[in-house]
Homo-oligomer: A and B are copies of this chain.
Amino acid sequence: MSAVGREERILDIIATARSKRPKFRDERITMAHGAGGKATGALIEGLLVPALANPALEQLADAGSVTVDDVGMALTTDSFVVKPLRFPGGSIGELAVNGTVNDLAVAGARPLALTLSLILEEGLESSVLRAEVEAIAAAAAAAGVVVVAGDTKVVERGHADQLYVCTTGLGRIDPRATLAPSALRPGDQVIVSGRIGEHGTAIMLARGEFELGAEIVSDTRSLWPAVDALLDAAGPGLRCLRDATRGGVASVLNELARASGVALLVREGDVPVHPAVAGAAELLGIDPMHVANEGVLVAVVAPEHADAALAALRGAGDAEHFAQAAAIGEVRTEPPGMVLVETAFGGKRVMDQLVGDPLPRIC
C-alpha cells in the first residue's frame, strides 16, 4: 500500500468510528468530562441526550429552541466554575452573562432575559459576592438583557469553591437567521472574529502557572453586536455560527464537520493569534486552537457572502478584537467529518478534539 493509500485508509477508519454516537462507559466522573473535549461529548451524547431524548436537545446546539404561540425563542443554560473568580480582563460574573448571551447570539437569537442561580460556599466574603453581583449587573446592562429571576443556595464550607454561578438565557430567534450545523456546503468559507486563545491564556496567567512578557486579558465580551452585523450583511449566506469556548476553535470545527458530514480545511498561517498566546501554548505543548475563548465567534459563510461577512465583523465594534477577523479555511468534501490543518510548510495533519483539557475550570 502506498503512503497516500495508507493515509486514506486510516482517515477512512477514523471517519467511520467518528460518525457513530459516542458511548459513555466510564465508571466515575473525571475532570476530563468537564473540559469540553471528547470525554464531555461522550457524557453528553452517550448518557444525557439519550436519557432526556427530544428533538431540541438532539441538535446539540449552543441553545435549544422553543416555540410559544408561533414565537420562536432560544433557551440556553451554563454553569460557571472558573478558578480564580477574578482574572485579567474579567471575572466569573461577567463571564456568566457573556457566556449565556453568546450561546443565544450564535443560535441567531437576540438575547432578552437571564436568570441567575448562585451556589455559595459558607464563609464566602460578602464583598466578593457583592463584586460579582455588580459585575453581573454591569455585563447584563452592556449586553442589553434583564435578570428576571434568581435563586441562592448555600453549602457548607468545603462543598463548593467560593461561588458557582448558573445563568440561563432567553432570546428571540431573529427572522434573518437560518442557521444549522448541518448546513455546511463545499466551498463555504470559515471565518473567525479575531485573535484566538486569549481567555484560556489569561486564566493560566492568573493561576500563576507561568510568566509572560506581555499582558494577555480575557476575551470575554458579548457577541450579539457582531452577530447582528453578520445577519445584516450576510443573513441568507450564513450557514452556522459557533462560540468557541471550552475545547477552543478546534472543538467547534470538529463538531460542525461531524454534524454536516463534510471536511474542514484550516490554513494554520491565517489563524490570528497574539504572539504571547502562541508562545504560552508552545511552552505548554498545546495548540492555540484548543485553548478556550469567551468572546470569539466562528462563522461558516457561503463563498459569495464571505467578503461582506468579514467587512461586517471588522466594523462590529470592540475594534481591537474584530479588526483581526479573518477567513481561516474552507469546507471540503473529503474526508467527511474531519478537520485538516494545512501547516505553514504545506503539510497537512488531522486536527482532532482533545479527550480532556489541559486547563480545567476555565469557565
Q: Which residues of B contact A79 (CB under 8 A)?
A: 117-119, 151-153, 166
Other 20 A-B pairs with CB < 8 A, given A33-B154, A57-B150: A29-B120, A29-B125, A29-B129, A34-B120, A34-B153, A56-B113, A56-B148, A57-B149, A64-B148, A64-B149, A75-B113, A75-B168, A77-B149, A80-B153, A117-B168, A119-B164, A153-B164, A155-B161, A159-B161, A160-B160
Q: How many copies does the complex hold?
A: 2
For A130, give its contact among B47, B115, B168 (CB under 8 Å): B47
- C-alpha gap A40/B146 in the complex (Å): 22
Identify the stretch in A134-142, A221-229, A276-284 within 8 Å (CB) of chain B at 4 or more residues: A134-142
Q: Which residues of B contact A328 (CB under 8 A)?
A: none
Q: Does A126 contact B (CB under 8 A)?
A: yes
| A73–B77 touching, CB < 8 Å | no
Q: Does A350 contact B (CB under 8 A)?
A: no
| A154–B34 touching, CB < 8 Å | yes
Q: Which residues of B contact A63 (CB under 8 A)?
A: 149
Number of A residues with CB within 8 Å of any CB on chain B: 81
Q: Does A10 contact B (CB under 8 A)?
A: no
Q: Does A30 contact B (CB under 8 A)?
A: yes
| A52–B164 touching, CB < 8 Å | no
Chain A 48-73: CB-based contact to B (< 8 A → 1; otherwise 0):
10011110110000011110110101
